[in-house]
Amino acid sequence: MTATYQRIRVRVVRVGPHTTHVSVPTYTAGQILVPVATFDLMSATGMTRTQLTGADLTATANVIATTDTDLYLHDWQTPAC
């Protein structure tokens, strides 16, 4: 099966020193939190850990993923208002 990548919205739910958990509404209706590296988010968005908590972001993801590790979230951005 070939991956299909699209830009999607995500919400940061929990920010830790090493791992951040995001909710992806288009994947399992946002019920499963997907772990990502906190440093990657901070570097990509220019936000601090405090600013990331509760933030709405966009990322590119494999929209036909069947597991959270297959989502391959990357290319993080803050959405344009």
Please state which of the four CATH numbers 1.10.600, 3.30.230, 2.40.50, 2.60.40 is assigned to the domain occupying 5-77. 2.40.50
Q: What percent of the chain has pLDDT over 90?
A: 73
Sheet holding 33-37, edge to edge: 33-37, 19-23, 5-15, 56-62, 74-77
Where exactly are the structural domains of the chain? 5-77
Positive/negative CA dihedral, 36, 42, 75, 80: positive
76: enclosing H helix or E strand: strand 74-77
pLDDT at 79 (0 to 100): 81
Q: What percent of the chain has pLDDT over 70?
A: 98
pLDDT at 75 (0 to 100): 95
44 pLDDT higher than 60: yes
pLDDT at 32 (0 to 100): 87
Grade residue 80 by pLDDT with cuts at 50, 70 and 90.
confident
